[in-house]
Every structure is written in structure tokens, then in C-alpha cells.
A and B are shown apart, each in its own frame.
Chain A
Amino acid sequence: MTTQMFGAPIRRKEDPRLVTGGGRYLDDLGHDALAAAFVRSPHAHARIVDIDASEATEVEGVVGIYVHEDLPGRVGEPLPLLIPHPTLTHGRTGYALAKDEVNHVGEPIVMVVATDRYVAEDACQRIRVTYDQLPVVVGIEAARSGELLVHDDVPDNVAAHMLQEVGDVEAAMAAAPHTLTLDLDIERSACMPMEGKGVYARWDRDRGELRMYSSTQTSTGVRAAVAAKLDLPLAKVECIAPDVGGGFGVKIVHPWPEEVLVPWAAILLGRPVKWAEDRREHFISAAHERGQLQQVTVGFDDDGHLLALDVKLWHDNGAYTPYGIIVPIITSTQLLGPYKPGTYRCEFWSLYTNTVLVTPYRGAGRPQGCFAMERTMDAIADELGLDRAEVRSRNFILPTEMPWDHGLLFQDGRPLKYDSGDFPASLAKLKDLVGWDDFADYRRQAESEGRKVGLGIGCYVEGTGVGPYEGGHIQIETSGRVNVSTGLTSQGQGHETVFAQIVAQELGVRMEDVFVTTGDTRKMAYAVGTFASRAAVMSGSAIALAARNVRAKALRIAADALEVSPEDLEIVEGTVRVKGAPATSMTLGTVSVLSNPLRYAFDEAAKAATQFAGTFDPDKPPVAEDEEPGLEGKDFYSPTQATFANGMHAAIVETDPVTAEIRILRYCVIHDCGTMINPMIVEGQVHGGVAQGVGGALYERMAYDESGQLLNASFMDFLMPYASEVPTIEADHLETPSPLNPLGIKGAGEAGCIPVSAVIASAIEDAEGFPITRMPISPYDLWELRRRHADGEIPSLHRTSRTTSTPSPSSKEPTA
């Protein structure tokens, strides 16, 4: 019998290749290509007065030097605004090369193409750009004040202002027995994949065809955008995502300036051109995320039930908005997590600053939303003297209430409607795993040893698998080899493996016979991309549907040949056979031969399909009217809405009583992404997400100074965690299937990082006894907070005053 493939922790098909040096990432290709490098703005806001490249042209090996004026037609027009939205009234995008003005440090101004990157950088160093510096807007407070403007024609720096309301928040708030207001702050971080971006383009002059490779999360998106920019027929452009060294969101944005310029130069010069982004470029000219100021006002009853939730968000979108306002929309909707808010109003302002643009980073606005909601839950519990888990539990949407429609519009323009989830069961599992009820004893024990420890919790719901669609194509060769393709791309999620598992299961073939291609527009021209934890849901479902089509076709052909009914057949390890009489059988390879009526026998097996072989019905055409030649099938999956995964995390932290150093002692995760295709891979995704979350909670920030210089644009000072900084993660799963798709699956890619800042803040607050309202937090930050707390600038938690005999003079508000 075929072993169960779907749901098993199968080893990855990718790995033998990747661990032996066989990976082919962008800069591993095109050894004959010219190299591009860029002169980028050293100023955050300036007018370009003059560009003098005369010294650079003398550098031996320089092939071309290009400024904005050199860019013809649409190449010189602003880059597209990818996701327009009615409330994005002042969307702005940059140019491939800056025209007249630069709006952040790192904006490209001049492109140099040379024989290699060393020489290209030599030339860049010799190009003199004269600037007129303009006033700089850095930070949300400065942007919000509107005193100085990033774009002259954008009043108050507001790109978008959006308001969604469900119920009468004002009335509910006025009637609420208790209210609290929290002011919260989350700083910027970034995706920071180990491989930067990169583009490599070849122009076939004879055929007028462009082939480009990009380290992208959407090869179909890049292809369409580049064809449009360069005014080429789509049929003459192909785009391939090779092995991609991590994405986490930043590579979904397209076209990046370089994705337009490199192919343009390749065509112009008639020679292959490549650009591989270096680390400094990635820091100052890719994208960041997370920066928000938040104000939450909440009304609740004596039992901690939410009655009214009124949220204001100020979102830093950086200098441009090519990806629209997806991030703050997600924050404003996913903030609700597993809870019923009673009534809800969320208003946000998306603001320009003279900094690198802001586009989705794993979690995409959810970590900020979760932070706001979970800080609020902890504040309610503290106000009422209730257990923090209990307050959460009282506000949960229950399994019997699913599907739950929040009455809001989600990031895909469709209703925010949860399909399934069992939040009480998740919480029970989490409390068990972390030992929630025993923590008080543990804390007493620790305190008696002079140690400070705290327990934190955070819950989230994540809309995954958004549309519009993905497709799957499956073709079985006469050898029995099964070729599978889907258009979205892979950056380490194990798509080759999980999609093969789906096909192996659905078709009844061996894993080793299945070969998956992703992100190649030659193989699948219709696709959207890899983002929003959507690959398994979207492409997985599409591939399953395609596999079912191919299976049905194989059974029809085999049934005909074996003269039995298709219902009597089964497929086991690539062989179609009669149930109960396995000797009556044929391999799928043979079925493939028969599926393609031949005139010419190209090998021994093919003879069976030629026109004088065997018997046939002379009244029927060789290919039946409703069939196509070949054992292949294609299908698309396009859901009406997203599917909602969820999870809950808890952590125990210890803070040094003197140095304020913060150590995570335990980190526990309960994760529910519906039915799991491969639990090993799901767990790997959770680990990676939590590690990025820990980075965002304790280590990573973008340190801009007032003039808009990024002070820590290196791995030396941007503190991405090493293994020594990441705790061991204890994970357990719940599988609440999604009713929305054929496999019952939900997305898993982003989940791990969503609640981490909320959880760590909760735990530190619990250890310290005063509110934590700003993340990330360093030992120095905590030490400063302690000082301000000691000086009476920050109130104690009520918990502290309740458990000690000294009454606290602090105000009801958790923030100073």
C-alpha cells in the first residue's frame, strides 16, 4: 500500500542539492555578465543640482553610466503604485533613477555598468553629485506634526487616512464601567534575508527576447511590470526566480528600480548584465517595516468583557508607497485577534518620512496589531485584578460562533470572516505547556534566590492564503516522471517537498518521481506570488485539484486499455491496477504513452501508441473530442476569502536585577494552521518566525538620526540574533481544518513572529511590575525604565500594589 505522504514529516527534496553546494542563487548565475553598481543618495532629502561623471568615464572597464535623463519613455516614469486604495489619496512612488529630488538615503541616482563589480564601484566613487539639501522628516512624531514636508504636494505628510467602525463605539465607550487608554510604540525592523535582492538579464537580439532572473517573491509580477516598462510584448519576456536566499516580504515588492534598469541596460548594451545587492544597499535601499505609534482606548465591564475598542494608528510608510497601505490595513483589522471587541473603531494615518520605504515584513502589520491588543488585555487584567489568561478567555470567539464575521474589510478587499478555530482549546494547551498555574510558585522560588522572573502571553489570528488565485499544472512523462509546476516562488519554505507530497498522495505516485518547479514564467505564466502565508493554501489547493484531474484522466485511459470500469481501478506507487486483482495493471508511464497517439515511435515504449499498434475504434478520432493529448492536467484555485490560522505563545523571562539584561528562559508555542501537510516543515516555519520575533522584541531596530542617516546599516550594529540569542522553542500543534479549501489547510509561514513582541513585553512587565509600552527593548532601555519608575515617572502595575502592602499612588492609566 502507498505510504501516507500528506501529513508526514517527509525529508525535504531540496536539501541534498542545497547541502552539497548545488543551490543556484542569483549571483551564482551569469559569470559572463557585466556588473551594475549605483551611486545612491547620501542625503535623506535633497534636490539634485548637478551630476558630474567625467572622472568616472575614464575608469577602465566602465561600459555605461546612466542618469535619469538617459531613461527613455516609461523607463523614466515613476515606478508603479502596485496596490491602489481609495483612501490612499496621496500615493507616491520613486523613479528607477532619481529625478531632481531624493527622499531617502540610499535612493539610486546613477547606474554604472562595468566589467565587474569592483570596477563599477570604482567608477561610482568618482561620480560627483551636487545637492541642495532640504529639511528632513524622520520619525512618526515629526511626520505627524506636519511642520516639514517630505513631498511638497502632500499636506501633513499624510499618504492615507482610513477609518473603519463596527457598532457605535462612542456610545459603548460612554456606557462602559471602565476605560483605559494606552499609548504604544513599535520601532522599525526589516526582513533582512541572508541573500539580498538581485537581477540578471540576458537579451537575445536575434529573437528579440528578454530572459531575466530575479531574486523575487513574484516572477509573474516582475515579468508583467518589466514588459510594461520596457514596452515589450509579454510573450517576449520571461522571468525566473532561481533559488532565493530568503524573502520575508521585501522581495514581493516589484519592480525594484534595479529590476527595470538591469534588463534595460542588457537590451541597450546587447550584453548580459547583473546586479547583486550588497548588504549596505539592502539596509538603505530595500525596505523596512513595523514602525507605528498607537493609541488604544478600551471600554470594558467588571468581568473584563470588551465593550468598546477605539484605536488610532500612526504608521510610518517611509518615503514612498509602492505597496500601498497593506501594512496598516492589516494592523487595523488583524489587531482584533481571537476576540470579540464589542464595538470597534480603527482610524489610521499612513505618513511619509525621509527614510527607506516600508513594505510588508513577515507578519505584515500583525505584530503591531497583536502588540496593541495584547497590551490592552494585560492592562484590563491588571486593572480588574484578574488572571491575564482568564480575561482573554472571556473575550474569545467560540468554536460554536464560527464562521465569525467582524464586519470589516480585510487586506484583500473581502470580509474579515474567520472560517474556523478553537481558541479555548489552544489556550488550555498553552497553559498546560508553559505551566501557567504553577508560575506563582516558580516566581516565589526565584524571588527567594534574588532573581526576577516574569510570565507573558500573546494570542493572534492570522488571515492567510489570500487570493486572487494560484494554479497548478501536472504532466506525467512516458517514463513515469511527474512534472509539477506552479507559478509562485520559493524562498526556503520547502515547496518542492510539500507540493510533491500533495501530488504523491493525490495521484498515488512515489515522492521521488515528482519534480516541482516554482517561479518560472515559462512553466506557469499565471500566478500571483508568495506572500501572506498563501503558498500552501493557494498553490497546494490548485495542485491538488490538478492532480485530481490527471488522476481521473489516467483512470479513464487505463480503464479503456484494461477493459474495466474506472471505479474498479486504483493507483499505487505509480501503477494503475484493478482493486483486488493487482496483476491486471499498467504503469502511469504506459498510460502516458497511450494518452498521446503517435505517428512516430521514438522509443520502444512509444510503439504502443503508434497508429498501427493494437486495435481501435475506426469511428472515433485518435484524440477523443473532450480530451487533449498527453497525460496532464491543470487547475486553478481561487477562494472567496482568506482562511484564518491562529496561535498562542507564552514565555518566561528573567531580568537581571542590576544590569537589566533580559534572558528568555522558556518559549512556548501553540500553533493551529489547520491540517498540516508536513509537520516538520510547519515546525521549522514556527521556529524561524519566533526567532525573527525575538530579534524584533529584544535586538533589532533601525537607528535613524535626525538627519535621516541610518546609523546601524551593517550586521555589526543591526543586531540580528545568532543562535546564542534565540531560546529553545517548545511547540505544540492543534489542527482545526479550514472548511474553505480541498485540503483543510491554512497558512503557516508568518505565524511564528506575530505575537513575540507582545509576549516578551508581557513577560518583562510581569517581572518588573510596571508597564512596558514600547518595543523593542534593550537592557539599556529597561534600565532607563527602571530609573523612571523609581523616580515616579512610570506607575507601578496594580498587581504590584495589590500584592504588597504599600498602596501605589499611580494613576489608572498604564502609561505615564
Chain B
Amino acid sequence: MKPAPFEHHAPLTVEQAVSVLTEVGHDGKVLAGGQSLIPILNMRLASPAHLVDINRVAGLDTVEVTPEAVRVGALVRHAGLERSAEAYAALPLLRQALVNVAHPAIRNRGTTVGSIAHADAAGEMPAILALTDGVVEVAGPSGSREVAWSDFFLGALETSLAAEELAVAVRFGRFPAGTGTAFTEAARRHGDYAMAGVGVALTVADGVVSGARASFVSVTDVPSVLDLGPALDGVEPGSGEWDAALDTVAEAVRGHVEPEGDIHASADYRRMLVTELTRRVLPQAADRAGAIA
């Protein structure tokens, strides 16, 4: 299990990276953390002729918190984002989800932007980008552009990123005050790709839910957001109504997801699982919303 030969490019700036990508076109692949890419190369399931290694590109390794968003550069490792106190204070959901990404040694190398650009529906961070109504910042030969998450993910492992473009950062949107978030997933083994996962954000105002949304891991082709508002808005968490509302949520989730079966679990099982996980995770988010409010 050794990778096929490739030509290695080590640009030092975003401009250089874009110009190499433009030159090599579809024969090229961006290498950041490589934690999804290199296993595929080692197994020779892919053999790109050119690897554009962006690890030496300056200025891509920062996490910035603004009132609206947490901006994560393309060389920020999962572990770096997970440990960032500023990011956690601004958007606890990031750490809540990141601790589920593989194992620490993988998180030390793998990048958050890379996992989003990889667009694996079994990845946690694409779902989180969706849940936070995030944006991908893209550099290309004709300058920069921003792509909303909903325009970014096109299909399984497929994005709207052109071959000559580089995702330089993502911005995870912050939630309004009074929002609690939670993330959970079920994997066969701790650290494996989840059989199903769910992240939720729930806003509480005056003791009742004023907005709620969920996004899912491993049970949809592309990341998507389910608005739980219709089921939960106006309901007081923990009240008598709450349990009935959770039943409605469960129905909505069941209808929303489109899981596929594999050797680990059937589609039906995954549908049941993600429904149950959503039920179990919402009270956590409600608790946290209360704590924040």
C-alpha cells in the first residue's frame, strides 16, 4: 500500500497555489492535512498526477472570531480549532462536534476546511457548516468569491469548488443569544465514521423555544438543515408539551433523512437511530440555551 508517483508542488502564497492549480487542472489535488486523502492515495484508489501541498502557504492558519462568525483558515487543524478558547466561547458547537472527528492524532493533522472541501456526508464538519449557515471563502484565478454552504455541497464527495480554486477559509455563523447547541453521534467504535449523527441549535426566548434547527451526519447525501421551528417554537423545554413536540420532531427527522444501508447497519436502522439521537440531544441543547439565557 504505497501511493503512486505524483509531482509535488509547495506554493508559498495563495496566488501561487491558485496558479499551480490552474496549470494542473483536474490532474491536481490539494493536500492540506491529508487525513482523508492519503489513505486513498496509499490504497491507490486515486492517483492524481499533481499534489498541491498548501502546508507552506502563509496566513492560512488562523482562527478569527467576529460578532457574526468564527472564521477558520485552511491550515487550521481540527485540534487547533477544538482547543481555541475564543472559538469555543463564540460557538461551543464547534468543539462539541470536533471531539467526534476520528481520534486526536488525526485531528492534530487533519484540517477543518479540508474535511469540508472533502464533502463526505459521513464527516461531522460539513454538517456543522450547514447548521451554522456557514460560508466557504474561495480563491480562484479571477479573484475571491464566497459560497454559501447550500451552494457549496453538490453531492457525495462533490462540491462547487472548481479544479483551479482553493478553499482558503470557512466562516461558521454564530447563533443569537439564548441559543444552546449540542451534537451527538453513534458509531460502531468510538472515533469511527458515525452510523448516524446530529447537531442541533435551539434558541430560547422568554422560556419558550423561538427557533431550532438540526443537521445530520451519515444519513443524507449532502449536508442539509431541518428547521425544527414548526415542531418546537413556542414550546417550553421540559414542559408537558415538550415530549409531544419531540414526537413531532422525530416524525420530521424520519421524513427528512435519506440514509443508505451498508455492512454496518441498514437504512431503516439508521433512520431510527438518527431520530432517537435527535430526541436525546435536544434536551441538552435546551439546557444550554437556558444556561446562556
Residues of chain A having any CB pair with chain B under 8 Å: 117-118, 121-122, 125, 278-280, 658-659, 661, 699, 703, 711-712, 714, 716-717, 719, 721-722, 724-725, 778-780, 783-784
Contact = CB atoms under 8 A, between A and B. Distances in A.
Contact of A659 (B3, B4, B191, B276): B276
Nearest to A705: B263
Q: Which of B3, B4, B44, B263 has the most CB of A within 10 A?
A: B263
B65 interface: no
A118 B5 CA distance: 8
B182 to A, nearest CB: 17
Contact of B1 (A280, A658, A661, A721): A280
B265 interface: yes
A780 B265 contact: yes
Contact of A722 (B5, B190, B193, B264): B190
Nearest to B42: A278
B99 interface: no
B166 interface: no
Contact of A724 (B4, B191, B265): B191
B167 interface: no
B244 interface: no
B186 A659 contact: yes
Interface stretch (B25-33, B202-210, B266-274): B266-274
B192 interface: yes
Given A118-B2, A717-B263, A783 B269 contact: yes
A579 to B, nearest CB: 59
A703 B263 contact: yes
30 contacts: A117-B2, A118-B2, A121-B1, A121-B2, A121-B4, A121-B44, A122-B4, A125-B4, A125-B44, A278-B1, A280-B43, A658-B272, A703-B263, A711-B263, A712-B263, A714-B43, A716-B39, A716-B193, A719-B192, A722-B190, A722-B191, A724-B191, A778-B264, A779-B188, A779-B265, A779-B269, A780-B195, A780-B265, A783-B272, A784-B269
Nearest to A116: B2
Interface string B170-198: 00000000000000001011111101000
Interface residues of B, number: 24
B263 A724 contact: no
Nearest to A278: B1
Contact of A658 (B39, B191, B264, B276): B276
Interface string B2-24: 11110000000000000000000
Q: Which of B5, B43, B188 has the most CB of A within 10 A?
A: B188
Given A658-B276, A779-B186, 6 more contacts: A279-B1, A703-B263, A711-B263, A716-B192, A779-B188, A779-B269
A711 B39 CA distance: 16
Q: Which of B2, B195, B272 has the most CB of A within 10 A?
A: B2
A784 B265 CA distance: 10
Interface of B: 1-5, 39, 43-44, 186, 188-193, 195, 263-266, 269, 272-273, 276
A724 B44 contact: no
Contacts of B276: 658-659
Contact of B264 (A117, A125, A721, A780): A780
Contact of B273 (A122, A278, A659, A712): A659
A699 B1 CA distance: 25
A721 B188 CA distance: 10
B74 to A, nearest CB: 25
Contacts of B3: 118
Contacts of A783: 269, 272
B243 to A, nearest CB: 14
Nearest to A720: B189
A154 B264 CA distance: 35
A780 B266 contact: yes
A85 B4 CA distance: 46
A659 B275 CA distance: 10
B189 A721 contact: yes
Nearest to B269: A780
Contacts of A122: 4-5
A649 to B, nearest CB: 22
Contacts of B188: 699, 719, 778-779
A658 B269 CA distance: 11
Contacts of A714: 43
A278 B190 CA distance: 24
Q: Which of B3, B269, B273, B276 has the most CB of A within 10 A?
A: B269
Contacts of A699: 188-189
A413 B149 CA distance: 69
Contacts of B39: 716
Contacts of B264: 717, 778, 780
B258 to A, nearest CB: 18
B172 to A, nearest CB: 27
A719 B193 CA distance: 12
A278 B273 CA distance: 35
Contacts of A659: 186, 272-273, 276
A89 to B, nearest CB: 36
Contact of B189 (A121, A278, A722): A722
A699 B190 CA distance: 12
A334 B266 CA distance: 36
A714 to B, nearest CB: 8
Contacts of A712: 263
Contacts of A784: 266, 269
B118 to A, nearest CB: 15
Contacts of B189: 699, 719, 721-722, 724-725
A725 B269 contact: no
A658 B271 CA distance: 12
A716 B44 CA distance: 16
Contacts of B272: 658-659, 783
A278 B269 CA distance: 34
Contacts of A125: 4, 44
A512 to B, nearest CB: 37
